[in-house]
Structure 1
Amino acid sequence: MSFNPGLEIGAELTNSELCELFHCGNMGGMRRSKRTNTLVIISDDTKDLYRDVWRDGILHYTGMGKVGDQVLEGNQNRTLYYSEDNGVEIHLFEVFDKGVYTYRGIARLVDKPYEAFQQDDQGNMRKVWIFPLKPLNTWPEEQTEPLEKDIVRLSNQDLDRRSKRSHGKRAPRITESMIYYRDPYLKEIVRRIADGKCQLCGMAAPFIDRNNEPYLEEHHVQWLADGGEDTIDNVVALCPNCHRKIHILKAPTDVLILERVAEANRRKFDRLISYEKKIARLK
C-alpha cells in the first residue's frame, strides 16, 4: 500500500518534521524507512559535493558515497537502483535554503542508472552513480524545473554556481517547433544586474510580479534560433514593451546597444561576486 505523507507539492518541512513524518533517519541524502516502505531522496543544493542536475524535467541525482568510487552494494544506492522492482516508494525533496526541505512528491526512475565522473570529498576524481528521476505529479514540464519562488531566494554566489552547473551543452528538443533550453538561474542573475530597470529604455519595470520582484523579461541579443548562446554576455533584461519592440522592429541601433549592455553584464556580475567573497573572508 502506498504511503501518503499528506503533503502538497511545494510544502516546506524542517529536518525533524521530515524524519518524524517518514519515520526515517535524520542524516544523509538517501533515507530508507522500512516502517513506511519509502526511500526519501534529498537533493541538497546547499552542499557542493553532489552535482544533481535537472534536464528536461528529469533530475539526474547523484548516489550516496562521499569518498572513492560509489558502489551499489551495502547502501541505499541498491535500494534506488532496484526501486522499480522492490516496491519501495521514492519521495523527493529539494533543499535551497539550509534546513528547509521542499517536497517535490513521489518520483520514479525513468531511465537506466548510469555511471559518471565527479570529484569526491577529498577532491579526487571518482565514479558515481547517477539516477534519472522524474516526479509523478501533474505539473507542466516547465514546473518540474527549479521553481521561480525558490530561485529568487538564492544568493548571488549560489546563482552563479547553479548556473554553471545547469548550463552545459543542451541540444534543442523537437516537438511541433524547436524548443531551446533557457537557464533559469541566468535569467535571475540578469534581472538582479538590471536592478528593476529595463536595460534598453532605462525605465522602471512596469509592475511587481507574484514573487514580489520587478517584472522584466529575459532577451537573448543574438537569438538562440540564430545560434546565440544562453550565456550572461548574450542576455539582457527588458520591459515587455521593449522586448516586443526588439522582436518586431529588430532595429540595428537597439541591437548594438544591447550587445554592449550584455557584454557589461558579465563584468558587473564578476565584480559583484568578487566583492561578496572579499566581504565573506573578512567576517
Structure 2
Amino acid sequence: MSFEHGLKPSDILTNQQLMDKFKCAMSGGMRFSHRTNTLVLISDHTKSLYDDRWIGDVFHYTGMGKVGDQSLDYGQNKRLNQSNHTDVTVYLFEVFKQNNYVFLGQVYLSNHPYTEEQLDDNQKLRLVWVFPLSLRNNHNEILIPIEFFESREKIQEKEAIKMPQEQLTKRALSAPKKPGSRTVVTKTYERDIYVSEFAKARANGVCQLCEKPAPFHTKKGDPYLETHHIEWLSKGGEDTIENTVALCPNCHRKMHSLNAKKDVEKLRRVAARS
C-alpha cells in the first residue's frame, strides 16, 4: 500500500513542507525515506543549464552522481532501477522557482534505464544513467504556470551568459537532441478589438516609438504594426485608447524586454495627443 501523502498533482510545497510530509532528507535530488518507504525524486531546473526533460508523456530523469561516470549499482540509482520489483513508492517533484516544489505524482520505470553523455561538475564529459519515468496519474492533470517556465529560463540564461566560451560550447554540443515538451497554463486577457484597430489607424502605418514606417505589409496590403499596452495589462493597465499604441515588431519586443522609462514616457505623450 502506497504512502498516504494527501497531495494532488500541481500542489506546491516548500522544501521544509516536503521534508515534513515524506520524512526525507533536506537536500539531494533523490531522497529515500525509511519511515515512509518512499523515494522522492526532485528535478531542480534552477540548478543546471541542461537537465531532465519530458519527451511526450515520459520524463527522462538523470541519476545521482555529479562527477565521473555514474553507476547503476550505487545508492539511489540502484534503488530506482529496482523500484518496479520492490515495495518502495516513487514520487516526482519539479522545481522551476527556488523553494517551489511542484508535485507531479507517483511515477514508475516505464522502460529500461539507458546511458548518455553529459557534462559533470568539472565540465568533463561522462556517462550518466537516464531513467524513463511515467506517471501513474493522468499527465494532463498537471498544470504548470507559464511564469514558472519563464523564471527557469531567466536563471539558465544568466548562467549561460557568465560561462566562458569554451564551457558554453561544450554545453551546447552536449545538449539533448530531442527537446522536451510541456503543456503550460497561461493567463490571457480579452482585448477590445475596436481599441486595437483604433490604435493602428491612429498610427497611420508608422511605428509610434521609432517613428519609422511599418517593416512590411500584410497580405491585404495593410502596414503591419502590433498593438502594445503602455502599462501592461498583467500589471493592472487598462485596455483603453489612452493606454494603447501601435509599434513595429522590433519596438514591441524592445518594450517587453527593456520597458525603458524614457520610451514609456514618449508613448504616453503620443497616446495623450489623440
- Is the structural similarity TM-score above 0.5? yes
Q: How far is 1:148 from its partner? A: 2.4
**Contact 2:13–2:100 (CA under 8 A) maintained in structure 1:** yes
The separation in 1 between residues aligned to 2:226 and 2:12, in whole angstroms, is 38
Q: Which residue of 1 aligns with 2:72?
A: 72
Partner residue of 1:106?
106
| 1:151-166 equivalent positions in 2, closer than 5 A | 151-154=149-152, 156-158=154-156
Query: Residue in 2 aligned with 1:118?
Result: 118
Tell me the alpha carbon deviations over residues 198-238 of structure 1, each in whole angstroms, 9 at most, x when there is no partner: 99541248xx99x8899xxxxxxxxxxxxxxxxxxxxxxxx
2:45 aligned with 1:42:
no
Match of 2:146 in 1: 148
Call closer, same or farther: CA 1:117–1:155 in 2, change over 3 Å.
Answer: closer
Q: What amino acid is the match of 1:115? A: T
Partner of 1:26: 26
Cα 1:43–1:170 shift into 2, 3 Å: closer
Secondary structure of the 2:227 match is coil
Summarize deviations over 1:45-72 as a string: whole Å, max 9, x none: 1111762111112211000001111012
State the identity %: 36
Residue of structure 2 equivalent to 1:192: none
What's the secondary structure of 2:94's corresponding residue? strand
Q: Is 1:58 paired with 2:82?
A: no
In structure 1, what is the equivalent of residue 10 of structure 2? 10
- TM-score scaled by length of structure 2: 0.59
**Local SS of the residue matching 2:79:** helix
The answer to whether the Cα contact below 8 Å between 1:31 and 1:41 also exists between their aligned partners in 2 is yes
- Structure-2 residue corresponding to 1:202: 226
Contact 2:45 2:96 survives alignment (8 Å): yes
Shift of 1:139: 3.9
Contact 2:58 2:134 in 1 (8 A): yes
Equivalent pair of 2:72/2:78 in contact (CA under 8 Å): yes
Cα distance change, pair 157–128 in 1 and its aligned pair in 2 (3 A): same
1:57–1:145 contact (8 Å) kept in structure 2: no
Q: Which amino acid aligns with 2:9?
A: I
Question: Partner of 1:77: helix, strand, or coil?
Answer: helix
Which has more radius of gyration? 2
Q: Judging changes above 3 Å, is the alpha-carbon distance between structure 1 residues 41 and 13 closer, same or farther for their aligned structure 2 residues?
A: same
C-alpha contact (below 8 Å) 2:54/2:181 kept by paired residues: no
Distance (Å, rounded) in 2 between the aligned partners of 1:80 and 1:39: 8
Q: Output the CA distance in 1 between the equivalents of 2:181 and 2:53.
A: 14
Conserved? CA contact 1:54–1:145, under 8 Å: no
How far residue 15 of structure 1 moved from its aligned partner, in angstroms, is: 1.2
CA RMSD of aligned residues (A): 4.2
Once residues 155 and 78 of structure 1 are traced to their aligned partners in structure 2, the CA distance between those partners, rounded to angstroms, is 32
Once residues 40 and 65 of structure 2 are traced to their aligned partners in structure 1, the CA distance between those partners, rounded to angstroms, is: 16
Contact 1:57-1:144 within 8 A present in 2 as well: no
Tell me the residue number matched to 2:219: none
Q: Report the Cα distance in structure 2 between the residues aligned to 1:156 and 1:36, rounded to whole angstroms.
A: 36
Aligned-partner residue type, residue 77 of structure 2? N
Q: Equivalents in 1 of 2:59, 2:137: separation in Å?
A: 14
User: Aligned with 1:203: secondary structure?
Assistant: strand
CA distance in 1, matches of 2:49, 2:77: 16
Call closer, same or farther: CA 1:139–1:128 in 2, change over 3 Å: closer
C-alpha contact 2:10 2:144 (8 A) present in aligned 1:
no
CA distance in 2, matches of 1:34, 1:152: 36
Letter in 2 for 1:119: L
One-letter amino acid matched to 2:88: V
CA distance in 2, matches of 1:160, 1:106: 33
Superposition deviation, residue 20 in structure 1: 1.2
Q: Where does residue 95 of structure 1 map in the other structure?
A: 95
What CA deviation, in whole Å up to 9, does each residue of 1:110-157 have, x standing for no partner?
A: 1111011111111111110000112222243xx659552522444535
